[in-house]
Amino acid sequence: MKTLTQKLDLDTFISNFKNFYARDKSIDMMGDINQHFRYIEALSKVEFPPIKEVPNLDDELNKIKKQGVLRLEEIYAFATMIAYFNALKALSLAEPVGKWIEQIDVPDEINDILLYFTDEGNINPEREPELYDIEKALKLNKSELKDKLYRLAHSSTLKEYLVDTQVHYLNGEETLLVRGGFNKVIKASVVGRTSAGFFYILPQSISHLKEKESDLLSRKEEVIYRYCQSFSAIFSKWHLFMRFINREYDRFDHYQARVMFARTYDYQFILPSKRKVVNLSEFCHPAIDNPKPVSINLDKSVMLVTGVNAGGKTMLLKSLLSAVYMSKNLLPFRCNEEKTEVGHFKSIEAVIDDPQSVKNDISTFAGRMVEFAKLFDKENAIVGVDEIELGTDSDEAASLFRVMLDELRKKGITFIVTTHHKRLASLMSADDDVELIAALYDEERRVPTYTFLQGSIGKSYAFETAERYGVPERIVVEAKKVYGEDKENLNELIEKSTTLEREMRLKIAKIDEELKAVERKKEDLENIEERLNEQHRKAIATLENRYNAATKRAQEAMKVKESTEGRRLLNEAHKHKERSKQAKEAQQAEKVELKVGDRVKYRTSKGDLLSIKGKEATIEVDGLKMRVPLSQLRYIGALPKIQKKPKTNVNVEKSGRGSISIKLLGCYADEAIDKLDVFLSDALVSGFSEVEIIHGTGSGILKKVIIDYLKNYPKLQSFHGLKGNLGITIVKL
């Protein structure tokens, strides 16, 4: 039975992705997908060293748990993981990855083990004198062995029997290649034979060197075994840490593989949303070379796809399910990231292949019923069904599947269904929670377009497809007669309605684009107007400043009796004043006369005009009242008339209890706030401009409560602590 990835044509995609793993594992990640996404997103922002390949170490972890001795290469695999995390610690990684790596605290005993290894995974001879001596002796012995073989290979005694003068390695042994009869001139052991009848020999004259080499290698193995015992004992002591580091390496491997895979193929990550939708924009199925990007919205519980044969209906179904599968496993794919949204579904089911089985005596339709029966145990799933009426009478199947789809939808199951038959589409077309999709066909070129139109039923184009694939035209003509003129007319009507709807949607899309362009131009013009008004306001302010400065200079000149110069400066000042007046008049001429209740704009803020007093006005912006120059307001509209409430007269009398100081020492928070509220009200009525609140220092809780209350008190100008006494706060009313 095919797996889900095989049904969705994702096998090659998954295989390519797994090549980025440091060791083979499934693509599933346990835990919170949102947290995984944050780590992947953070890792995508930085460069990090390539991860080292290591084998699966589950058996080795069990061995050190039982205090067993690991082989050197197994110990080095653990050392490789730890060394990699140490390398990551030296980098500046984006959060939360940086914090995660920083919290991996490697015990000093284990870090010391790393110092004993070379880059090739061997024990460093420089760390162990005995091993150093053994390595040195092995090199000398090897050199002597090679020298003796060279002399034998070039000796006149053996020359007649030598095939060549090279030293041949056979099963790790240095040998000479000779012809038969060699034993007449040299004593040697035969260690191998060629297909041509030649012999690989090991001369007895170098046997003592081979024995010495064997002894040295045995001593080396003993030294290495001692190290393996020592290192394994340390690993056993830190068994829980070793299990932890192995698990964290797998976790990082999941993240880095996804990041490197996305970088290599220019793919995007889509985090599943909480909504049960699949909205794809420019999606490309990874199994297709040079694919035509798909943009489709599935936001209803059933998507019913009809239309042309070989027009991409099945691939559309697979694309939607594949997007859900890849998003669910945080596997990147090609799409428009900003416009793509993929919901979270508990499970994914693909009813795609013909389930007929001779072995199990199951027909196509019976197999479909078996698959549908299993769906009644599912919830919150997304299911793709290809050729839903396959294997039985289409009219009967349409009625059956209509009822089953309605029932399964109640369990939160979303369906993507393809069909060639119109019966099911017509039965479900009136349902608001069913989305009809038509696969489109190019009538002129007589080929599918591999594009789709939402909201329509598509024609199958069976006759046109038959002609395209070589069926004689006369056969097709005869088939059309048998099919019937009425049904053909119905197909033509379906095609015409689809064409008209497609044209209508294109026109609507064009109008929407033009409307957006107009809105953008309107916004640009408003910004330009606002900028010009601001420049105008600044120019007026500059002219007034020049007038004031010129007047001041004229007055100073007149004080020192420079009357001529004073009059000149005064005239210059009046010129600036006249320019300022003209600028203001020019600005006012363009403005609409403002009145209470108008909607106005002050600089970049919009608000309501509450009152006008002389050259100033009071406006309300987002609940905040402001007094601003009337000249700086711009009319943008009138407020709707609101029925006025009956006027209420309120008389406030001074209580005579006003005081400029209040002591709140020892009060509870609620009690202190009640007293403070009465105190401030009395102070305002009494006309005090400044009062003091004595709250003491203590633990600071009472002071914090009072400060929070003062921040929201509406009639305060400011408040501050008394210099030199943190237990008193001064309030200006």
**Residue 32 — φ and ψ, nearest 5°?**
-75, 120
What does the pLDDT read at residue 658? 58
Contact partners, residue 532, CB within 8 Å, separation at least 6: none
Higher pLDDT, 706 or 500: 706
Question: What b/e readout covers 405-420, taking b as 16+ CB neighbours within 10 angstroms?
Answer: beebbeeebbbbbbbb
Whether the model clears a pTM of 0.85, i.e. scores above it, the answer is: no
Sheet holding 199-203, edge to edge: 168-170, 173-178, 199-203, 188-193
Query: Span 690-705, mean pLDDT?
Result: 82
Q: What is the pLDDT of residue 655?
A: 42
The whole-number average pLDDT for the span 294-298 is: 90
On the question of pLDDT at 653 being above 50, the answer is no
- On the 0-12 / 13-18 / 19+ scale of CB atoms within 10 A, 658 is middle
**Span 379-423, pLDDT tens digits:** 899 999 888 776 566 667 777 888 888 888 888 999 998 887 667
pLDDT at 150 over 80: yes
Residue 577 to residue 459: CA distance in whole angstroms: 80
Average of pLDDT values for 99-122? 93
Backbone phi, psi, residue 697, to 5°: -100, -65
Strands (E), 163-301: 168-170, 173-178, 188-193, 199-203, 278-283, 294-298
CB-count burial class (<10 Å; 0-12, 13-18, 19+) for 156: exposed
Amino acid at 401: F
CB 514: neighbour CB atoms within 10 A?
A: 10
**Tell me: the pLDDT tens digits for 234-254?**
999 999 999 999 999 999 999
Res. 588: pLDDT tops 60:
no
DSSP 353: S
- 336: CB partners within 8 A, 6+ apart: 281, 282, 295
Q: What is the mean pLDDT of residues 16-31?
A: 94
Lowest mean pLDDT among 110-114, 201-205, 509-513, 577-581: 577-581
Q: How many CB atoms lie within 10 A of CB 43?
A: 19
Q: pLDDT at residue 108 above 90? A: yes
What pLDDT does 517 receive? 86
DSSP H or E segment with residue 673:
helix 669-686
Q: What pLDDT does residue 337 have?
A: 94
Strand pairing class (624-629; 616-621): antiparallel
pLDDT of residue 334: 95
Contact 72, 228 (CB under 8 A): yes
Express each pLDDT in 443-483 by its tens digit. Answer: 555 556 667 776 666 555 555 556 656 677 777 667 666 65
Report which of residues 386 and 256 the model is more confident about.
256
d(CA 690, CA 717): 10
Question: For residue 233, what pLDDT is reported?
Answer: 96
Q: Would you say residue 544 has pLDDT above 70?
A: yes
Residues 77 and 57: their CA atoms lie apart, in Å, by 8
Residue 358's pLDDT is 41
Vertex 180 angle, CA 176 and 185, to 5°: 70
**How far from 467 is each of 251, 260, 486, CA to CA, in Å?**
55, 47, 21
CA 720 to each of CA 430, 674, 716: distance values in angstroms, whole numbers, following the listed order? 70, 21, 11
The predicted-structure confidence for 54-73, as pLDDT tens digits, reads as follows: 999 999 999 999 999 999 99
Ranking 215-224, 243-252, 560-569, 610-619 by mean pLDDT, the lowest is: 560-569
Q: Higher model confidence: residue 371 or residue 198?
A: 198
Instruction: Report the distance separating Cα 675 and Cα 82, nearest Å.
Output: 64
pLDDT at 558 exceeding the cut of 80: no
Going by C-alpha positions, the residue among 408, 220, 179, 461 that lies closest to residue 302 is: 408
Burial class, 94, CB count within 10 angstroms (exposed 0-12 / middle 13-18 / buried 19+):
middle
Return d(Cα 351, Cα 335) in angstroms, integer: 25
Q: What is the mean pLDDT of the chain?
A: 82
Pairing of strands 302-307, 381-385: unpaired
CA distance 151 to 429: 95
| Beta carbons within 8 Å of 43's beta carbon, 6+ residues apart | 93, 94, 97, 255, 256, 259
